[in-house]
Amino acid sequence: MFYLVSASPCSRFEERFFSQKTAIRISTLGTSTGGIIAALLALGRSVKEINDLYEKHVPIVMQKKGRHEKSLAFAKRGDEVFKEDKFDKMKIGVGIVATRWVIERPMIFKTSIEHAHGRMGTFSPGFGVKGSDAVQASCSAFPFFERKMVKTDKGDLVEPIDGGYYANNPTLYAIADALVALKLHQSTFGSSASGWGYIRRRNSRGSAPPSGRRSS
């Protein structure tokens, strides 16, 4: 059986599919913060580790003023977390969704040629870029962040922006991979999507309000 996950910060998912031996094939697709989660899970990080990394790094990035300062802070922390790791080191199928700024088309950084829909002869995992650069591209929601310039292993310079422009929830792309690229029958795979939460803000007296703003 093939199981698709668009972004999964879920401990129950981790316990079921990563902590035990299973015959189920897993592919994760993520956009923006979901792309970060998908990439880190694929590199073997636990849900707890990912949560700790978010709590450590995200406030530092988001407290910066202006998109240039935010982008610099994000790049620094992305490189600290992912180091030189690329898509060929990821243990499961991953697709990180970004958008090509100039032609307004999706750009999906994938680990496996099995998930490619065309150009099989020129496929390379993640276009040869580092995991850090791919997640920065997927998160580059202009004008909150600068557009991210990446150089593929073919020497092409591409300027991607936030993948949410095309697929804030990339479940449809995951299903397309299963049906078109992998040629699976719809009865042989399942999908699960998550990637939202609540930002709890403290009021002037230092206490958190009863509800927060949803963040995708």
Catalytic residues: 32, 162
Q: Give the C-alpha distances (Å, rounded to integers) separating 79 from 32, 75, 134.
A: 16, 6, 11
- 157 burial (CB, 10 Å; 0-12 / 13-18 / 19+) is exposed
Q: What letter would DSSP give residue 149?
A: P
The whole-angstrom separation of Cα 17 and Cα 185 is 21
Q: Please check whether residue 10 is in contact with residue 194, taking contact to mean a CB–CB distance below 8 angstroms.
A: yes
The whole-angstrom separation of Cα 46 and Cα 9 is 9
CB burial of 86-107 (b: ≥16 within 10 Å; e: otherwise) equals bbeebebbbbbbbbbbeeeebb
